[in-house]
């Protein structure tokens, strides 16, 4: 199994991801054969070499030669499920569109099934997304990492009119990924590219030990004056089984606060971006019982979180210090059960047992809605996720 590192110094899009995958070793003829099974009318696939700042990159093109219908999520599901492609590839491609539908539905205040996909429902975006799912599987990639992303500036045209850069759906999809605002003179990450990241990738943490096996370059359509518009894909193996990052621990000793307030404090801290909040019982000076309120967060959030602690608790002093962490790689899957979609967190490496943890809130809502025991929903979600990651 391999790791793919997406070095997105110029952002990324669906065609750039597909081009980088092909340049890293995936066979174009096999891709065309797979796309043929989708039975999409009015499109032609091609590749060409493109020199960008002296870098030989592969430009992947989908030429649309016939008018295309406006598609909903159900239409795209039917196209992919009706094709003769591997079940894992089909499942992953559909998940990309489900994530995209969720983001569009939130932006337009509607439901995923009612979303008109417009540009991203066009045939070229369907091909780009299915190509990404197929390519990662063909290259035996089980983990995708991505660098910090430039989001660009300005405005872009859409079917809804003029929209800001990044597009609203892109901003929704990239929640949790490190980004650089106002970096770039145009749209640097497209909704299609962001949806592929949301489904497959996780942020690369700090300095990464990496053994490079192959390198692929996928070219974009635009030309920039300040950087080469290519996506670099490094295919290889991580030097460590664990992720690492550096955060800040903010803590306060408290011995005179109404315990009912702690739940409210924790909610505010999490809403402000805290990674974790813990409350530990302790014995303070003069034998008084108290608690240690500890928060893990990005260093940039120090003052905001400290302000919440000062405002909501009785403490008059806060301490903080940097903390380095080792973490198991993790990703969140949306699995289908007879009780509806359930998010499941999957973590582990080859040296650590795979851990599958259904999201409690999703299971709780499903159990109440279907009048079944909570443990039944959790067991079914766990079994569905286990099948998804082992097939």
**Interval 294-340: pLDDT, tens:** 999 999 899 999 999 999 999 999 999 999 888 888 888 899 999 99
Tens-place pLDDT, residues 378-389: 999 999 998 888
pLDDT of residue 347: 87
Mean pLDDT lowest among 158-167, 181-190, 245-254, 303-312: 158-167
Tell me the two tokens of residue 216.
């692929």
Are both 111 and 255 inside the same structural domain? no
Answer for the pair 220, 202: CB distance below 8 angstroms, yes or no: no
**279/192 same-domain check:** no
More confident call, 216 vs 355:
216
Judge if 284 and 349 occupy the same domain.
no
What does the block give as tokens for 390? 């082992």
pLDDT more than 90, % of the chain: 75
Asked if the model's pLDDT at residue 200 lies above 80, the reply is yes
Q: Among the three residues 327, 354, 376, which one is the final residue of a domain in this structure?
A: 327
Is pLDDT above 70 for 241?
no
Residue 199 preceded by cis peptide, ω within 30: no
pLDDT digits (tens, 9 = 90+) for 280-292: 999 998 899 999 9
For 261, phi then psi, to 5°, come to: -75, -25
Picking from 141, 164, 168, 145, the residue whose alpha carbon sits closest to that of residue 153 is: 164
Measured CA to CA, the distance from residue 62 to residue 103 in angstroms comes to: 25
**Which of 218, 240, 262 is the last residue in one of the domains?**
240
Helix, strand, or coil (residue 339): coil
Does position 34 have pLDDT exceeding 60, yes or no? Answer: yes
The answer to whether residues 195 and 304 belong to one domain is no
Q: pLDDT value at position 326?
A: 83
Same domain, 286 and 334: no
Spell 111-142 as b/e; 16+ CB within 10 A means b.
ebeebebeebbbbbbbbbbbbbbbbbbbbebe
328 close to 346: Cβ distance less than 8 angstroms: no
- For residues 234 and 391, the model is more confident at 234
Tokens of 137: 């599987």
pLDDT higher than threshold 90 for residue 245? no
User: What is the rounded average pLDDT of the residues 347-374?
Assistant: 87
- Structural domains in the chain (count): 3
CATH at residue 305: 3.30.70.1380
Between the two ends of the chain, the Cα-to-Cα distance in Å is 14
Side-chain-facing half-sphere of 56: CA atoms under 13 Å: 5
Euclidean distance between CA atoms 171 and 194, whole angstroms: 8
Per this entry, what is the length of the chain? 391
H runs (alpha helix) in 139-260: 168-173, 191-200
Examine the fold and report which residue of 307, 327, 347 is the final residue of a domain before the chain moves on: 327
Which one-letter DSSP state was computed for residue 120? G
Structural domain of residue 318, as residue ranges? 249-327
Tokens encoding 295: 């928060």
pLDDT(69) > 80: yes
């Amino acid at each position: 199994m391999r790791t793919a590192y997406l070095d997105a110094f110029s952002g990324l899009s669906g065609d750039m991801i597909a081009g980088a995958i092909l340049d890293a070793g995936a066979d174009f003829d096999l891709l065309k054969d797979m796309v043929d099974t989708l039975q999409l009318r009015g499109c032609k696939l091609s590749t060409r070499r493109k020199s960008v700042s002296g870098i030989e990159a592969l430009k992947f093109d989908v030429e649309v030669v016939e008018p295309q219908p406006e598609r909903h999520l159900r239409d795209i599901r039917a196209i992919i499920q009706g094709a003769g492609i591997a079940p894992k590839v089909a499942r992953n491609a559909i998940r990309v569109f489900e994530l995209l539908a969720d983001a569009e539905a939130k932006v337009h205040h509607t439901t995923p099934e009612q979303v008109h996909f417009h540009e991203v429902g066009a045939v070229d975006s369907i091909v780009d997304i299915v190509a990404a799912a197929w390519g990662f599987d063909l290259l035996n990639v089980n983990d995708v990492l991505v660098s910090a992303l430039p989001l660009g500036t300005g405005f872009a045209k859409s079917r809804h009119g003029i929209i800001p850069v990044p597009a609203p759906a892109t901003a929704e999809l990239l929640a949790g990924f490190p980004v650089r605002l106002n970096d770039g003179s145009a749209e640097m990450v497209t909704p299609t590219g962001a949806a592929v990241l949301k489904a497959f990738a996780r942020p690369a943490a700090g300095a990464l030990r990496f053994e490079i096996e192959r390198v692929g370059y996928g070219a974009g359509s635009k030309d920039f004056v300040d950087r080469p518009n290519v996506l670099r894909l490094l295919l290889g193996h991580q030097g460590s089984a664990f992720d690492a990052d550096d955060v800040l621990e903010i803590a306060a000793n408290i011995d005179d606060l109404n315990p009912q307030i702690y739940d409210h404090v924790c909610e505010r801290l999490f809403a402000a971006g805290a990674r974790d909040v813990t409350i530990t019982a302790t014995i303070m000076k003069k034998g008084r019982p108290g608690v240690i309120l500890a928060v893990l967060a990005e260093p940039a959030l120090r003052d905001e979180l400290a302000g919440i602690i000062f405002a909501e608790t009785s403490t008059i002093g806060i301490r903080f210090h940097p903390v380095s962490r080792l973490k198991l790689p993790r990703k969140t899957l949306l699995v289908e059960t007879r009780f509806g979609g359930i998010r499941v967190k999957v973590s582990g490496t080859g040296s650590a047992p795979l851990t599958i943890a259904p999201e409690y809130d999703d299971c709780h809502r499903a159990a109440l809605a279907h009048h079944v025991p909570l443990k039944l929903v959790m067991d079914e979600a766990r079994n569905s996720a286990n099948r998804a990651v082992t097939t």
